[in-house]
Amino acid sequence: VPQYMQAVRQGDFARAVEITQKDNPVPAMLGRVCDHLCEPVCVRTHLDEPLAIRHIKRFIMEREKRPAAGSEPNGPKVAVIGAGPGGIAAAYELATAGFRVEIFEQHPYAGGMVGGAIPTYRLPVGVVEQDLARIEALGVKIHYDRAAGRDFRLPDLRREGFDSVAVLVGAQLGKKLGLEGEDAEGVMDALHFLRRARERRPVATGKRIGIIGAGDTAMDCARTAWRLSGGEARVSVIYRRTIDQMPADREEVACLLEEGIEVVEMAKPQELRITDGRLEGLVCRRMEYCGDRDASGRKVPHEIPDSDFEVPLDTLILAISQHAVLDFFDGEAVTLNDWGYIAADPVTFETSVPGVYAGGDVVNDGPSSIVEAAADGKAIADSIVQKHRNGAVFPQVEDFDTTDLVLRRSRREWRVPIPHSPLKQRRNFDEVVQGYGEEEARAEADRCLDCDRYCSLCVGVCPNLALLTYRSESFEASLPSLRRVNGDISLGAATTFNAGQAFQIAVLADFCNECGNCVTFCPTAGEPYRDKPRLYVDRSEFEAQRDNAFMLVRGDRPAMESRWSGETHRIEFADRLEYTGPDFTARIDPTDFYVERIEANGTSSGNGSLSLLPCVSMYVLMTGLLRSQPHFPAAPGGTKGCIPHPAYGEEG
């Protein structure tokens, strides 16, 4: 995100498009309907307002040129089931890696639930086609009107020579309330209603329309029903909690209320009133909060006895949740979890059926967001690619002006307002949220604080002063692979080790009480007190650790020790690195990590692979600390009293 923000503020929109597409296979869609959970954790949130990340992404993708056709792929064949965000993401990553990809989609158009159910006032038709054009240019073939379980099954794909199959279909069937009369005329499923509306097929709703639910789908149903009636119908969202507890996007809730749509709060459906096979009304019971909360922290509503009331309705739309149809495997024993979804490996996404991967709405805990579906598609593609080949690319980090960044952090700059169409112009399906102009986009992007280069938010919120920022020089080296055979160590093919980010975080583990403040404020999904190098000054504490423990050691020359898999490793540094580990010792030139000497320890035995990773990790950490934190305490004999710190209350 900070990288494309920088490109926008510099006016380099072509580069911004390139950066956005690099890690995002469906950027056009996400520029409109992403749940933008990255915004509440933006560093700017703690100063004024978060960056308009989603809206800047939209601005960027509105300036994308049509992609040029790529070379014909010639790798292994992969079938992708579903042309939604997850399927498109998987296809993009696989095709980029040279795989031959074919998508099978049950509808006559792509986009899945996004392209078929999200109203055009939020997601215009051309946006899905924009992301689709990118994979078509890479040679991906799309078969429309081909439904898994109806037109083909897993054995058919295997006979056609597909090496792997990625199942990325959405949850297509709406769940019911469990009340008598749900099959009556006037009661309909949310996805059926939204799909008909987007396809511009007639939907009879009447003048009194109710929606049960409180997520984004419910908001879409309510606002769509209001538009279909020309703003004349009385539309009500019926919810058993209060508005503040709604899981829907806050912006969608705000637009809902702005458009005059009623929210019936604290109301639980009890009975459908049906006359001559047609819906006439919904009987609800009043609810109240009694102070208790569920496992997620949301308030738990309780029924109020003798409080039933009726909401007169012509149409009731059920937007409570969805479930998947899993009739594709044709008797093969795919394992399901306790909730009836496909059980997939949490890392590889492979199912119990070899060569078949699953993600999105059909796996693990069920319906997911668009971002999660796309992330699953990327992860599945990565698993398939790794199955056939190996390799990694490490990005370089550019230098930057630290003074300018500090100055920008010192100023409060409010978000550039996102324009919306006037309320009187919304009784149609024209897009409501309008895009930034170039001047507005550059001004908003200029608010970015480049947290990928310098963040350190966790340092400022730690109550024990247990986290510190240190500066590390960019370092890259080729590390040879090591193999021990019959007591001798041989060097093999090298892999690249890269430490490019200038400002790094370390944890003074002796002072950390693991309160979790750093996790709460971290703008990424990280847990700094666990993920960052943990530094110790007390040897007994250090030696009690199994992994991620480091200790600077006072002596005639700089030295550091670390714990990896329960073993202690040590480096000493003068003009050369002297490394001592549980399996071997080595003398290394630190400028390029050339191994000048390596010897197996007499106590080590057996054959197998070894690694220089502990050595290079200690070297980068130690040199960074000594250069930027020369006062950092070293442990002479393992006592805490050698350093003054508020957490100890003693001076050494």
Q: Are 258 and 279 in contact (CB under 8 A)?
A: no
**547 and 637 housed in the same domain:** yes
* pLDDT confidence bin for 571, thresholds 50/70/90: very high
* pLDDT confidence bin for 366, thresholds 50/70/90: low
Centre a 10 Å sphere on the Cβ of residue 470 and count the other Cβ atoms it contains.
19
Please tell me the predicted confidence (pLDDT) of residue 556: 80
Please tell me the predicted confidence (pLDDT) of residue 230: 87
**314 and 377 housed in the same domain:** no
Q: Which of 32-41, 153-162, 424-433, 469-478 has the lowest mean pLDDT?
A: 469-478
Q: What's the mean pLDDT in 497-510?
A: 86
- Residue linked to tokens 């049906």: 274
- Residue linked to tokens 């003398």: 587
DSSP three-state, residue 91: helix
Distance CA(496)–CA(26), nearest Å, equals: 30
What percent of the chain is predicted at pLDDT more than 70?
A: 92
**329 and 300 housed in the same domain:** no
* pLDDT confidence bin for 642, thresholds 50/70/90: very low
Q: Which of 320, 338, 363 is the C-terminal boundary of a domain? A: 320
Among residues 198, 204, 242, the alpha carbon closest in space to that of 217 is found at 198
With a cut of 60, say whether residue 651 has pLDDT above it: no
**150 and 191 housed in the same domain:** no
Distance CA(240)–CA(243), nearest Å, equals: 9
How many Cα atoms occupy the beta-carbon half-sphere of 399 within 13 Å? 5
As a whole number, the mean pLDDT across the chain is 87
- Secondary structure of the chain: what % helix, strand, coil (to 5)? 30, 25, 45
Residue 304 belongs to domain spanning? 175-320
Q: Are 226 and 219 in contact (CB under 8 A)?
A: no
Please tell me the predicted confidence (pLDDT) of residue 637: 46
Residue 479, in any domain of the structure: yes
Q: Which pTM was predicted?
A: 0.77
With a cut of 60, say whether residue 88 has pLDDT above it: yes
Q: What is the CATH number of the domain that holds 207?
A: 3.50.50.60
**312 and 328 housed in the same domain:** no
Q: Are 588 and 596 in contact (CB under 8 A)?
A: yes
Residue 381, in any domain of the structure: yes
Residue 23, in any domain of the structure: no
Q: Are 348 and 357 in contact (CB under 8 A)?
A: yes
Q: Which of 363, 388, 413 is the C-terminal boundary of a domain? A: 388
Number of domains observed in the structure of the chain:
3
**92 and 110 housed in the same domain:** yes
With a cut of 50, say whether residue 650 has pLDDT above it: no
* Model pLDDT for residues 402-417, shown as the tens digit of each residue: 777 777 777 888 999 9
Give buried/exposed letters for 590-628 (b at 16+ CB in 10 A, else e): beebebeebebeeeeeeeeebebebbbbbbbbbbbbbeb
What are phi and psi for residue 282, nearest 5 degrees?
Answer: -125, 125
**Strand-pair partners of 299:** 293
Residue 404, in any domain of the structure: no
Among residues 611, 73, 95, 94, the alpha carbon closest in space to that of 387 is found at 94
Residue 196, in any domain of the structure: yes
CA distances from residue 268 to 32, 127, 186, 252, 317 in whole angstroms, order as listed: 32, 37, 19, 22, 15
* pLDDT confidence bin for 331, thresholds 50/70/90: low
Residue 20, in any domain of the structure: no
**572 and 477 housed in the same domain:** yes
**91 and 128 housed in the same domain:** yes
**158 and 194 housed in the same domain:** no
**218 and 352 housed in the same domain:** no
Residue 45, in any domain of the structure: no
Please tell me the predicted confidence (pLDDT) of residue 420: 93
Residue 39, in any domain of the structure: no
With a cut of 90, say whether residue 360 has pLDDT above it: no
**307 and 196 housed in the same domain:** yes
Q: Which of 373, 388, 403 is the C-terminal boundary of a domain? A: 388
With a cut of 50, say whether residue 211 has pLDDT above it: yes
**238 and 309 housed in the same domain:** yes
